[in-house]
Amino acid sequence: MKKQVSLVTILITLIAISSLSISSVKGQPYYDAWFTHIYVTNGMDEIDLINGGTAKIYDGQLAVKKLTIYNHGCGFWGADLYARIYRNTEHVGTSSETYVSKGSSDTDEFSATLSGPATYSYKVELWWENYGDHLLVDVKEFNIEVVKLWIFNWSSSTLSIERGFEVNDLSITFSNGGTDYMYNVVISVVDSSGLTVIPQEQNLANINAGGTKTTTFSVKASVGMTPKDYPITFEIAYDDLREVTHIETFQADVNVSSNFVRENLTYILVAVVIAALCLAAIILYIKRRKPKQVEITEP
């Protein structure tokens, strides 16, 4: 009989505690379980956004969100907890329910490939499924910025050079049209169309979002090149925040012209000298062949 009374007492006690627990969580959120870490992909690493903030990734990169939850006091011995995630107010995922004992932690993970450039606002909610009641126990918010890089406003100066003689500068200007730094920017000549271009490569360091760079190359055409327009193909390589290299290709046209007098000046001078010598020789010959005049005196 005493054993039956004890069992009844225990059951009554458990029911009372359970009812108290249920009634106490009606005011949501009920902070007796919470997120302790929110690790989000940030470039090639990850950053903890438990206190908010912004992670940064590149266009098309997989963004992983690792949520660590801690159950401090939900349930008598533990609770069935799960997470919901929202992107720009749209519900995009719910984890499966996981039983987490009091004083213990567990993790949930969400991932998505994001396009940019854009900034996405995220909200994660921690829920407790308590005998059919779904109770909100914690809420956190953070952002993910998706960056993208590209070359913008490529332009080259108008350049015309005389073959075989002139060395002129070709000016190149371009901008970072993206939303983040371009790191380790290098511009190089990949096809000069037979022109001599110096230098073949230049390191332009880093370019901030919207920043512009201008540089010059010296160009010369050999005397045997046909007068016309020649394209020079340039390659611009740069790294993004993940240290992944991107390459873009552009062209600049150079007009090659000829100058008959300058190209044949030596021959012209030789011809002039020869003509002058010939003329002098003719004059000398004529003078030598001219008959002498003899004066005759009449008696």
Does the structure show a pLDDT above 60 at 9?
A: no
- Domain extent, residue 113, equals 28-147
Does the structure show a pLDDT above 80 at 17?
A: no
The last residue of one of the domains, among 85, 113, 147, is: 147
Instruction: Please state, in angstroms and as integers, the Cα–Cα distance from residue 165 to each residue in 160, 216, 262, 264, 273, following that order.
Output: 12, 19, 8, 12, 24
Q: Average pLDDT of 84-109?
A: 97
148: amino acid identity, one letter: K
Tens-digit pLDDT profile for residues 35-73: 999 999 999 999 999 999 999 999 999 999 999 999 999
| pLDDT score at 62 | 97
> What are 223's two structure tokens?
């005397």
Does the structure show a pLDDT above 80 at 4?
A: no
| pLDDT score at 262 | 55
Q: Are residues 143 and 159 in the same domain?
A: no
Q: Tell me the average pLDDT of the chain.
A: 87
Cα–Cα distance measured from residue 1 to residue 19, given in angstroms and rounded to the nearest whole number? 27
Q: Are residues 68 and 167 in the same domain?
A: no
Q: Are residues 181 and 221 in the same domain?
A: yes
Tens-digit pLDDT profile for residues 170-198: 999 999 999 999 999 999 999 999 999 99
Q: Are residues 141 and 32 in the same domain?
A: yes
For residue 21, being part of any structural domain is answered with no
Q: Is it true that the peptide bond before 291 is cis, omega within 30 degrees of 0?
A: no
Tell me which H or E stretch contains 149: none
Give the global pTM: 0.76
Q: Are residues 113 and 185 in the same domain?
A: no
* Residue with more model confidence, 29 or 87: 87
Q: Are residues 247 and 159 in the same domain?
A: yes
| pLDDT score at 108 | 96
| pLDDT score at 14 | 45
Q: Are residues 117 and 51 in the same domain?
A: yes
Percent of the chain's residues with pLDDT above 70: 81
For residue 220, being part of any structural domain is answered with yes
The number of folded domains in the chain is 2
For residue 280, being part of any structural domain is answered with no
Q: Are residues 134 and 66 in the same domain?
A: yes
In this predicted structure, which of 85-89, 226-230, 240-244, 278-282 has the lowest mean pLDDT? Answer: 278-282
CATH of the domain at 192: 2.60.40.10
Helix (H, G, I), strand (E, B) or coil at 283: helix
For residue 75, being part of any structural domain is answered with yes
Q: Are residues 122 and 161 in the same domain?
A: no
Q: Note the Cα 218 to chain centre separation in Å.
A: 28
| pLDDT score at 16 | 43
Nearest CA among 228, 234, 231 for reference residue 163? 228
Q: Are residues 129 and 163 in the same domain?
A: no
Cα–Cα distance measured from residue 234 to residue 171, given in angstroms and rounded to the nearest whole number? 12
For residue 175, being part of any structural domain is answered with yes
Tens-digit pLDDT profile for residues 109-165: 999 999 999 999 999 999 999 999 999 999 999 999 999 999 999 999 999 999 987
The last residue of one of the domains, among 107, 123, 147, is: 147
For residue 133, being part of any structural domain is answered with yes
For residue 60, being part of any structural domain is answered with yes
CATH of the domain at 67: 2.70.50.60
Burial code (b: 16+ CB inside 10 Å, e: under 16) for 258-276 equals eeeeeeeeeeeeeeeeeee
Residue 266 confidence class, pLDDT cut points 50, 70, 90 = low
Q: Average pLDDT of 266-280?
A: 69
Cα–Cα distance measured from residue 50 to residue 124, given in angstroms and rounded to the nearest whole number? 10
Q: Are residues 93 and 163 in the same domain?
A: no
| pLDDT score at 30 | 75
Q: Are residues 131 and 33 in the same domain?
A: yes
For residue 202, being part of any structural domain is answered with yes
Cα–Cα distance measured from residue 218 to residue 201, given in angstroms and rounded to the nearest whole number? 12
The last residue of one of the domains, among 119, 147, 175, is: 147
